[in-house]
Chain A
Amino acid sequence: MAERIDVAVIGAGPAGLAAAIAAREQGAERVVIIKRSERLGGLLPQCIHNGFGLLYFGEDMTGPEYERVFMRRAEKAGVEARLETMVLDLGEGREITAASSRHGYMRFRPGAVVLAMGCRERARGTLGIPGGRPSGVLTAGTCQRYVNIEGYIPGERFVILGSGDIGMIMARRLTLEGARVEAVVEIMPWPGGLIRNEVQCLHDFGIPLLLEHTVTFVHGEGRIAGVTVARVDAERRPVPGTERFVPCDCLLLSAGLIPENELSLKAGVELDPVTGGPVVDENRQTRVPGIFAGGNVVQVHDLVDWVSWEAEAAGRAAARFADKGKMPFAGKVRVSPGENVKYVVPQYISGKEDVTLHLRVTRPGRKAALRLGGKAWKRFRSVRPGEMIIEKVPVARLSQFISGGELRVDCGRGETGEEA
């Protein structure tokens, strides 16, 4: 594959598709998506529930529907696909090494690269749940694939650890399929996912949500026999005496998503320890020139609509980079998370463009005030870590918030500001 490629997009989920389409629309001639499997598209086909596209299309779609629209647009835009191809390495000078059963083993250097590898779920080992090592412990997303794609159900009696969106959605799905969901167990005092999922997937189906509880032990050696569930104290430590045995033949884990950045690390891309994704500027360029990133590889989004938008920005910028051969990192202003703000993306901005800030709060709260550079920007009736806050700030107003090369973002309790 010695031919010239302007923009190579790694990953073909909603982020990859949107980035590639945007790169073409921006004028990049050859845009190639590199994709591991035999078809374009990512995990959306297994997300057969609705709630996709409400923002982007103003229409309530399912995952497969949402993806199909982007697939068609990609085809129309003339995006090329290199299927059944796995990127093994991303090295010096954006050199991509890939292996494929169809195209063999290859190395090439595209004009620009967009990272769109998405994210993965936290596995049992990283959660460190003690106990035996039986079968029947799997992540909610893996379960979703078995049920919705492969047509198998992994158990009949479930406990779900973590109230992430996929876990809650699977609680409903499994109940609909005739399985029993004993409980969704959440260590924090608030659910991890969206309120709409808590209501529509748990409450509407009478599935208990045990807040401030965790699984302290996995029982069984062959097939899982059950779990010990216990209350936790304010330090998230199990409270002795509150343990109880809950029999189950399947434990699903929905306790966090981690941006998939092994390739980024190989390429020397700097990661933000809080988001787990690359440090990016407003163009979604990483600290390595010519490497851009968009979607869940940067930060775990709640809604696919924002994945698409973020990846489009990355795709457009990558096309411009490929055309000019350069683009400075917009690192003039550091965006720094302040009171009750866990992170903000992008981490750097130029201060010379409109910017969309993505942020999450650390703790939930009522009557929170979003302040930029210490000045009131917006008031919220309530904020939750499970719901990303997204704010567009026009360049005209930006300068008044920036001081000393910093844009500080706070979201604590506040009395002043505009009503949300």
Chain B
Amino acid sequence: MSYAETEVLIIGAGVLGAATARELSRYRVDVTLVEKNVDVGWGITKANVGVVNQGKDTLEFRPEYRRSHLLWRSLAMMEPLCAELDVPFRKVGGWEMCWDMKMKEKLDKLARRTESLGLGKDRFYWYPELKEMEPNVSPKILGGLHDPDIAVVNPVYLTQALVENACDNGVHLMLETEVLDMKAGHHWFEVATSRGDFRARYVVNAAGEWVDKIAAMVGADDFVLFPIKGYVGVLDRRCEGLVNGLVSVLPEEPGDMNIVVPTVEGNLLFGIQLQINRRGDHSTTEHMARKALENARRLVPDISRENVINAFCGFLMLRNYEIGWHECEVGMSGRVPRFINMTIGYPGVSASPGAAAEVVEVLRKDGLKLEPDPKFNPRRKGIPDFSRLSDKEKSELIRKDPRYGHVVCRCETVTEGEIVEAIRRGATTLDGVKHRVRAGMGRCQGGFCGPRVTRILARELGIPESEVTKKGGDSTHLSCRVKDILGKEEGDG
């Protein structure tokens, strides 16, 4: 049997796998990134609220937890990283609010702890003052701690940018490549995938929701994860400005998260309704939807049912859930040499730069030769966002490429130029386009632009429209040409 060989195999192109690939692409080392989906960042990373956590929001980030250190290490890294990769990063500030004096005492404690950890001095504002900054929160709020450093990013954009840049710097990306089995040998791992077999010296297991299952293939599963499903609702852009920054209330019971937060694009998200759930089941439920909306309305009464345009669920893979949800698993397996597990239940996006740097150090310490690549280019240019350009830039862009004058998605003002560019960068599906340039992300959810984007995808990829899928695999959305169906029916008798 012949194997494709690679020095480092990274399993999973979520934000963690992508950040690691990009970090390793600084060096002259052979790296392969495999991802089972047709696109990158579609695991837990897609089902995310995009907050760049500052490591002080609750009593969860204690110095004795490794994940606190990964997060703290990442704090100074995220903004410059986003700047290098041309990924929108918005410092919106954030609130931890309380309803009553008892909760306020907790917040006071939190503020003292934050200060003693050297993480800055967050100020408490009573409602009348708080109202000046967040006029739409419920007047029943007593007050809140304000952290001006909280930022938001789009985790899928970040992952796409990391992967694009890693590939520019020599990382091999293999999509629709699912790791099926693995054997640990003395010098190599033998990895069976849906696209052939591999030999890899090192394996970085960043498989998100399935990270423990992958680890179990070689017996490196010396950690237990609890899949907790989190529900997030999406509000229409019309609600932009209802909150200016992250608004959250201190949980009254553990795990009772209640936040409303703007995205970089101007929609608001609310949630996160949590529930222990069977893995792989990403469906939303009526119960979660109702509870999340109730909570959100309690916090920001102007949020209405009519403005919910979408909802999704993702899994928080939490370690030691029975004693809280504080730990991550990032580092060399204690049982299997050269096998690195990498999973952070929360906040994996915020902690990704630090975690990736950590993994590179672990590899180096283990003896992997890491010579800097003089040709490494840290920069990547994003896809132009037509709707946010100035008048002059818009005119110029259209003059250069008239496709930027052709608006295809009217809810989000996305032009054909942007869609074609998204396809050039690797989008092969409707969701791929949607998660790069937002066509179909708005209130009509692709009702208007769906057929048009389908046509552009078919044209650019040179395939029939009926082969265009929503998100790869069997997710076709057209059955066949009209009239062909009549032939199909015959067989059924």
Q: Residues of A with Cβ closer than 8 Å to B? A: 36, 84, 86, 88, 97, 99-105, 107, 120-121, 123-126, 128, 130-136, 138-139, 141-142, 145-147, 149-156, 177-179, 216-218, 221-223, 249-250, 262, 265
- Residue B445 interfacial (CB < 8 Å): yes
Cβ contacts A to B, 10 pairs, < 8 Å: A86-B410, A104-B398, A125-B310, A131-B283, A150-B465, A152-B480, A153-B479, A153-B480, A156-B488, A177-B485
**Docked pose: A138 CA to B480 CA in angstroms:** 16
> Which listed residue, A105, A128, A141, A145, touches B311 by the CB 8 Å rule?
A128
Known interface pairs A99-B407, A130-B285, A138-B447; A156-B470 also in contact (CB < 8 Å)? no
Residue of A nearest to B286 (CB): A130
> Which listed residue, B386, B403, B469, touches A135 by the CB 8 Å rule?
B469
- Residue B101 interfacial (CB < 8 Å): no
> Which listed residue, A107, A120, A135, touches B470 by the CB 8 Å rule?
A135
**Docked pose: A133 CA to B407 CA in angstroms:** 26
**Docked pose: A133 CA to B386 CA in angstroms:** 28
For A155, the chain B residues whose CB sits under 8 A away are 479
Are the C-beta atoms of B395 and A105 separated by less than 8 Å? Answer: yes
> Which listed residue, B387, B445, B451, touches A150 by the CB 8 Å rule?
B451
Residue in A102, A105, A149, A221 whose Cβ sees the most chain B Cβ within 10 Å = A105
**Docked pose: A155 CA to B406 CA in angstroms:** 30
- Residue B375 interfacial (CB < 8 Å): no
> Which listed residue, A123, A135, A154, A250, touches B444 by the CB 8 Å rule?
A123
**Docked pose: A186 CA to B416 CA in angstroms:** 37
Closest beta carbon of chain B to A409's beta carbon, Å: 25
Are the C-beta atoms of B234 and A125 separated by less than 8 Å? Answer: yes
Number of interface residues of B (CB under 8 A): 65
For B471, the chain A residues whose CB sits under 8 A away are 135, 222
Are the C-beta atoms of A132 and B405 separated by less than 8 Å? Answer: no
Closest beta carbon of chain B to A179's beta carbon, Å: 6
**Docked pose: A128 CA to B478 CA in angstroms:** 23
- Residue B140 interfacial (CB < 8 Å): no
Stretch among B118-126, B216-224, B301-309 lining the A interface = B301-309
For B415, the chain A residues whose CB sits under 8 A away are 99
For B183, the chain A residues whose CB sits under 8 A away are none
Are the C-beta atoms of A130 and B284 separated by less than 8 Å? Answer: yes
> Which listed residue, B285, B447, B479, B486, touches A152 by the CB 8 Å rule?
B479
Closest beta carbon of chain A to B17's beta carbon, Å: 21
For B477, the chain A residues whose CB sits under 8 A away are 135-136, 138, 154
Contact with A along B409-422 (1 / 0, CB 8 A): 01101011000000
Residue of B nearest to A84 (CB): B406
Known interface pairs A86-B410, A151-B482; A133-B282 also in contact (CB < 8 Å)? yes
- Residue B278 interfacial (CB < 8 Å): no
Q: Residues of B with Cβ closer than 8 Å to A? A: 234, 238, 282-286, 288-289, 305-306, 308-312, 386-387, 391, 394-395, 398-399, 402-407, 410-411, 413, 415-416, 443-448, 450-451, 454-455, 465-466, 469-471, 473-486, 488-489
Residue of A nearest to B406 (CB): A101
- Chain B: interface secondary structure? mixed
> Which listed residue, B283, B448, B474, B481, touches A222 by the CB 8 Å rule?
B474
Closest beta carbon of chain A to B46's beta carbon, Å: 11
Are the C-beta atoms of A221 and B399 separated by less than 8 Å? Answer: no
Are the C-beta atoms of B489 and A178 separated by less than 8 Å? Answer: yes
For B283, the chain A residues whose CB sits under 8 A away are 130-132, 217-218
Are the C-beta atoms of B485 and A179 separated by less than 8 Å? Answer: yes
Known interface pairs A123-B445, A126-B309, A135-B477; A101-B482 also in contact (CB < 8 Å)? no
Closest beta carbon of chain B to A151's beta carbon, Å: 5
Closest beta carbon of chain B to A266's beta carbon, Å: 11
**Docked pose: A247 CA to B5 CA in angstroms:** 45
Closest beta carbon of chain B to A140's beta carbon, Å: 10
Residue of B nearest to A97 (CB): B391
> A104-B398, A156-B479, A179-B485 known; 17 other A-B pairs, CB under 8 Å?
A88-B413, A104-B399, A105-B391, A120-B448, A123-B445, A124-B445, A125-B311, A128-B305, A130-B284, A130-B286, A135-B471, A150-B465, A152-B482, A156-B485, A177-B485, A177-B486, A178-B485
Residue of B nearest to A38 (CB): B406
For B470, the chain A residues whose CB sits under 8 A away are 134-135
**Docked pose: A150 CA to B406 CA in angstroms:** 19
Residue of A nearest to B237 (CB): A262
**Docked pose: A154 CA to B60 CA in angstroms:** 48
For A153, the chain B residues whose CB sits under 8 A away are 478-482, 484-485
For B455, the chain A residues whose CB sits under 8 A away are 150
Are the C-beta atoms of A105 and B481 separated by less than 8 Å? Answer: no
> Which listed residue, B284, B398, B443, B446, touches A131 by the CB 8 Å rule?
B284
Are the C-beta atoms of A128 and B282 separated by less than 8 Å? Answer: no
Residue in B406, B474, B486 whose Cβ sees the most chain A Cβ within 10 Å = B406
**Docked pose: A176 CA to B402 CA in angstroms:** 41
Known interface pairs A126-B308, A156-B488; A142-B407 also in contact (CB < 8 Å)? no
Residue of A nearest to B401 (CB): A101
Which 5 pairs across A and B sit closest by C-beta, in order of nearness? A101-B405, A135-B470, A125-B310, A123-B445, A86-B407
